Amino acid sequence: MRPDLDARPADPRRWAALVLLCTANFMVILDAQSVVMGVPLMAADLGLSPVEAQWILSGNLLTFGGLLLLGGRIADLIGRRRVFMLGTALFLVVSVLSALATAGPVLLVARALHGVSAALMAPTALAILTDMFPEGRERNRALAGWAAIAAIGATIGLLLGGALLGWFGWPSLFFVNVPVALLMLVLSPVLLRESRSASAHRTLGVAGAVLSTAALGLLVYVLVEAPGRGWTSFPVLGVAAVFVVLTAVTIAVDRRSAAPMLPARLFRSPTVLGGNVLTILIAMLVYGMSVVLTQYSLGVLGYTPIRFGLSQSVMPIACVVGAYATQKALARPLLRRVSIAAFVLLATGSALLVRISPDAGYLTTVFPGLLLFGLGLGSASVTLAAAALTGVTPADAGIASGVNVAAFQVGGALGVAVVSTIIAAMPASAGALAGFHAGLAACAGFGVAGAVLAFVLLRRAGRGNLTAVARPH
């Protein structure tokens, strides 16, 4: 083992800590999924226009995506447990504020602050996991749990959200967070050990931090607004141009900084670079598929939220199976092969779902597609998380986790934007299902592209093992 990698003995609390960290991941995803279903009721109760109501979701996504890198780097510097608890405390406060909101602007501000709390919690939890589990079989098992709980949270969010909305109204979507967040705050000092960067540079490059946060926020804004305004509209093109300029300036500033916001050494490992690029594609698939199936099931088939959640339940179950089967394969130098196979499963599952129609049978059409998609999603989530964090030094665990979570958020926003645009672009003369079929075909295309990129980008990982490291300065 290299001297700059952490050689501390394994923490005996690590498996209990994993449950806590996965709970944090679960709650962030659960909140996001359930709120999607409650937006129409919130808008009606609080007098929000359709454009204002959209910002219940967009404001949260903007702050979450924009602040991920900053949250990860701050955690590296001042302590990951400390930042995780700060994010959890903010999550608790804004959940209460959201539930008690009696005016639209209050809810919009609360949802934006929720994005801030998620940006502190999500990358920090993943960094703590990386710190507590050494590379190898145990970390792969931990990452399998992390990936599986994310899939479960996505479906439970639909089921629980539908039930809470029907029984108690939309404030209950936020009140349910409160006891869990309190328990997490109590257990964090007991189960989580503090960790931070041991680097000589214990300061944050303010210029790089501001520029990178602004650039990432602008990118998320473009992806959120493009489907509604049009990809060639002046506001979208204008903001996109500013994003490109800010990105170039950020790179130039970071190259001259003694404490760069995004160290270039992270991407000198082809495995780390490939893991993050492919994470973008995985997120495009997940969110793109979610757009199609949600609109089709609720809009065309007329499913209730609970029935929709039940109809999709095979996918998270298959995801759990795929995740735990894959973590065993990662003990061998098979990362590239497993990644390619995972994307092939995702592409095949998406292609099978292109056959959906109101007359098609669930067991013969929808079930096989969701099953293969879930197996591929579970497998890919574990392999790519392992790749994106392989060989990252303890000093960079927070920012590396922030990059990986940011890649997923950007990919998700891009998937929603592309698939929504494809669905909307289909002419009415093509039929009601044409847009959904085109969206699913696009998802299949994302899967094929992922298999090709995995073959190219993870070539060294295929010949080596999962301990290839990102070289230090």
Residues 330 and 213 in one domain: no
What pLDDT score was predicted for residue 139?
78
How far apart are the C-alpha atoms of 203 and 447, rounded to whole Å?
41
Q: With b meaning 16 or more CB within 10 Å and e meaning fewer, what string describes 227-245?
A: bbeeeeeeebeebbeebee
Residues 281 and 417 in one domain: yes
Residue where one domain finishes, among candidates 223, 241, 260: 260
Residues 296 and 241 in one domain: no
Residues 181 and 242 in one domain: no
Q: What is the pLDDT of residues 249-270, one digit of tens each?
A: 887 877 776 666 667 777 777 8
Residues 373 and 313 in one domain: yes
Q: What is the pLDDT of residues 304-325, one digit of tens each?
A: 777 877 888 888 888 888 888 8
| Distance (Å) of CA 265 to CA 136, 250, 273, 306 | 22, 16, 10, 46
Domain count, the chain: 3
Residues 275 and 406 in one domain: yes
Residue where one domain finishes, among candidates 190, 218, 238: 190
Residues 231 and 270 in one domain: no
Fill in the DSSP letter of residue 233. Answer: S
Q: What is the pLDDT of residues 174-216, one digit of tens each?
A: 999 999 999 999 999 999 888 776 554 555 556 666 777 788 7
Residues 141 and 279 in one domain: no
Residues 173 and 225 in one domain: no
| Distance (Å) of CA 204 to CA 78, 79, 126, 233, 402 | 10, 13, 21, 36, 15
Residues 135 and 256 in one domain: no
Which CATH number characterizes residue 414's domain? 1.20.1250.20
Q: What is the pLDDT of residues 62-82, one digit of tens each?
A: 788 778 777 877 887 888 899
- Tell me, yes or no, whether 1 lies in a domain: no
Residues 275 and 370 in one domain: yes
End-to-end CA distance of the chain: 18
Residues 153 and 209 in one domain: no
What pLDDT score was predicted for residue 333?
58
* Segments forming the whole domain that contains residue 398: 266-473
Write down the residue that tokens 């290299």 correspond to.
Answer: 2
